[in-house]
Structure 1
């Protein structure tokens, strides 16, 4: 178990540095709380104890005495700087009595590199000082000075919640590398989304409102069908129950349209199974494709029905159909009249592949062809076999989507990644459209 004592500097009657309408005590508390939340939500075998979690005064002796009696493994003190309005940048400190080859200095070197990699500040270097928290702590200790609050450029960054999240992430990256922290086994993060806006100012107002009520949040910019959206994220958790607690707290502030977004991260692309349940409704599938192609056929019901029957992710299969047919515009070698939504048997202009009597049969063939790849079981007999190439597939050779790379599409080394990226766009668009409707209703 790694025990971190996390110390936001100053607090209460001690405001710390001030400048440009900001107080150090508030900025560093926010950054520290974000560090704590990232560690608690994304890592195993770690305990975080904080000198303060609210705007209260804590003496220097209280801070080090508590860390020492708790037997912390590391003492991390978070601060901002001030001088004359012209100084700027990031620097950090270890105790002046330590050598550059000490374990504390080695930890500091790693922390410094990881923080500088993300904080977009001038690098003022690695320094030493006789600060109380560095001298009196029994364990290795580091004090970070995250920009000059009285410098216009540094303070503009520090005033931005999204930037403070970035700084917190840099500290966590350093801790992970310095102490070999173990990330949670689950690749799924449950993100609490407290609003999605096309107007950045509206999103920033939502962030400010949440922060003023004790809920750290930040903006995440995303592009959906060519449009830029600003999501307000109020936490990300490896445990869904923790995400639901945060969601409840957000809704208690009057944000009724907040929701939880499951994010399986980069591993989703490498491990996303073909078998599984459908998330999207037929209406969401059909509505999405018609934002690109108003004349697209309504096939969502077929992909839902057949997907459920064969135990496959019919909505991801729908995304595959969009990729294969260019959103049912059929700009490749397959013609619309073929009802071949998966490019089954199509190898070029001289061989446009199979044809099916109806759109329903075309979807059924698509699902059956995918079933042949994903399963070694016999084909269930409720529907007739309409896929002419079912018996040509190596059964069970593609259990996850990326297994289709080089099989369904040749060479196709990014084939599944493109499908899953398109699927993510459909899901995100559906969520944001629903939230936008809810916002309009609440106005």
Structure 2
């Protein structure tokens, strides 16, 4: 029987201090997940499973290394965590799996349903590829060598989810244990493992052309020969965490790692073919430059917004048109501005202290520096203020239209020409730029541009 690894997210040492994770309601994510993890371990051991509990004081990177040093092909690994949102009404459970892996998606459904059948009051947020997480990737899903999933058991910032967990923790543990039991039996049905692994071959297609060499499928994840990585002029020295494996004297890497180098990854299960694709706008080095042109149509922006919030266009039906027009007038990449709006407002769900009627789509402050967020007379003026504030950061050029951005004059012009340079400036969140970049990749994939 395969073993089960359980990790409680946060609680370890990150950047020299203990990482508490989210904080809300007089408690921390780390505390709640450690308590839940301990009960899951007890429940699984009562069912005769061998469980390995990851030590609490390890960093995220150390956690992965700890599992990889001990994991076997028949083992599974789950990390449990809670989410947080500026809107306290957001709630529910979900499970993230490594994108393009249909096997792992099915596994995620087993784990999630195990919890939801036991705690029926918990809303179902579904299983999601890790590309839909805030940063566009989850290292627990990507870098753990054995089959792995990341589970959000609810939102710590939601009083109902928090109360459910704290009053019915044993039921949460029993439900998750049931899901893990089902998953583990799928991965290891009890048959004796082969003495040496044999991985099935897969075809590789690059921009519509078949690649001469084949890849392999390991644990449901497509792997490609390192020679192909070199041919694509991708320098993996900039990604030291990418794992390499040797199989029959050929070095392979997980194909999904190329996504961070602006390569689209799609799996055609019917033809056992991995499709890789890139576009000129991505490869030209203009992807993250704030000054420039957008690449999407109004319809593509509408579909992207509607697919992520079916009610988004009810109150703001012209928002894609406004971003395209206002961005083009000032020479700002409207795709980037639009994605920043999606990050800031949660696809126009808002929440927190900014209300929809304020027409503030980017968390803009007032000129006086007070705690209140700015308000604008219309959606167009709100979008215009957003575009102008971006131009203040990204360009030395004067505005084309009269200034409406309340803090335009306070920005040191030209200090943030690319998305990542907005981190720590537009927002105190040092991952702010990475979140916008991840959203931009999702937009381009939705539009068929990547």
Q: What's the TM-score, normalizing by structure 2? A: 0.42
- Structure number with higher helix proportion: 1
